[in-house]
Amino acid sequence: MAQSRNFDTLNELTEALRELMHLIERAADPGAEHRKSRFRELIERIDALGAALPPTERSLRHYVKQHSYAKALAYLEEA
């Protein structure tokens, strides 16, 4: 069960990071102002998911804690 929960956390973290990267890429687009609340929500969710990672995910935990979101996403996508 714990392994399944870890898999779910990793999947959710991956999706949140992808959405965040998409928002960052579009930050200068017209109408981006309304995306600020979603940006904050994603950061909070990513931080919570990062804190829930098991100690064995040292690199990933480090990337999330340091707000190195692009590195965290690359790490997840390489796995």
Distances (CA, A) of 62 to 24, 52, 65: 21, 12, 5
Residue 44: both structure tokens together: 């909070």
Please report which confidence band the pLDDT of residue 31 belongs to, taking 50, 70 and 90 as the band edges: confident
Q: Give the per-residue pLDDT at 5.
A: 64
The mean-pLDDT minimum among 3-17, 23-37, 38-52, 53-67 falls in 23-37
Residue 57 gets which letter from DSSP? Answer: -
pTM given for the model: 0.84
Residue 4 has pLDDT above 70, yes or no: no
Q: Are 16 and 46 in contact (CB under 8 A)?
A: yes
Q: Domain residue spans in the chain?
A: 2-78
